Structure 1
Amino acid sequence: MLDATLKSQLKTYLERVTQPIEIVASLDDGAKSRELHDLLVEIASLSSLITFSADGTDARRPSFSLSRPGAALDGRSISLRFAGIPMGHEFTSLVLALLQVGGHPSKASAEVIEQIQALEGEFNFETYFSLSCQNCPDVVQALNLMAVLNPNVRHVAIDGALFQAEVESRKIMAVPSIYLNGEVFGQGRMGLEEI
């Protein structure tokens, strides 16, 4: 799935991980699920701090979550999920999510991090992206970081090409399209500060 150069670069990045990461995939019998399974097994093989299981129960298949084992016990659970296979422009989003879930600090300013950590309420974000979209990674990465920093924020990044029925039912015409708690939140490029 990953060529030798990309695999080598990813292994180097994953050396920055300081906390265990749990990847849990929800798969079906389709080709895309097999492709995602192979990618996640490959990623897990690059770090002793990453575990992989394919016993997820999410309705969107193929999808996977990234979390810290036992995090729910200390009230710091992370709800960060990719529905689809984050390759193309979204591969960077996956790498950053792995690093941040794995304890590597964000480059966001201390002020913005404090703002995110202080958010109260329930924030369930869904971002529809396309693998060829150049604006999508900014939004996906910002919301993923928010989900890592605040357990009240949940984020699912959804590949619109794999979940066409959702795209059609929500009448999504452009990506990135962001939903918050089931309602349209925004479209187009947005940075962390804007969100």
Structure 2
Amino acid sequence: MPLHVPPAPAPALRSVLTALGSPTAVSEDRTPALRSVQGPVSPESPLPVHVLDQIVPSGSGPYTRLAGWRFLLRNGDRCVAAAETLLTADGWTFSHFFEGPYLSSTELALRQAESMRTPYQPRLLSIPELYMLTLWLHGDTEADASTGTPKPTDVLVPLAPAPPGITAHRPHRVADLLPVMTLRLTPAPLLGSPA
């Protein structure tokens, strides 16, 4: 198995389990799928969510920060929703439940990564400047999942929906995709006014 899924912090997992077990506390936060699901729901596939705060490098490369942990919520053999946690001054806490296209896209990207021959540590990388989410396959499988920046040889798999001009589910080395993302954010030069 080439994916080395890092363990989520125990308090993050506990916060999700508590939210799932307390329907009165989070009834307004539950998604339609969670409200209608029959049987138990279990949090699986914990992935650290990093945010790329700066695509256009300022000489030092991209800057990322850990924003939370995301758990895919399974009911039997299907993913019905996801739960996200965040780090506060008091520790890890449940943030929210959600549904949408990123669930099936994340599952598909994880299956793609499992079929690769190279071992990776899976993470999620959010790129707010492009409204983009990727599966970040980090080459150092023993690294602390809460730290680090994308290395040029790491792989990014854009999740669907991807921004225009970037193909979802096509793996790219960071060294190849970062210049494309940079170009998308670089303002076009102003042309002179017509004479």
TM-score, normalised to structure 2, is 0.30
Structure ranking higher in strand proportion? 2
Report which of the two has the higher share of helix. 1
Q: Which has the larger radius of gyration?
A: 2
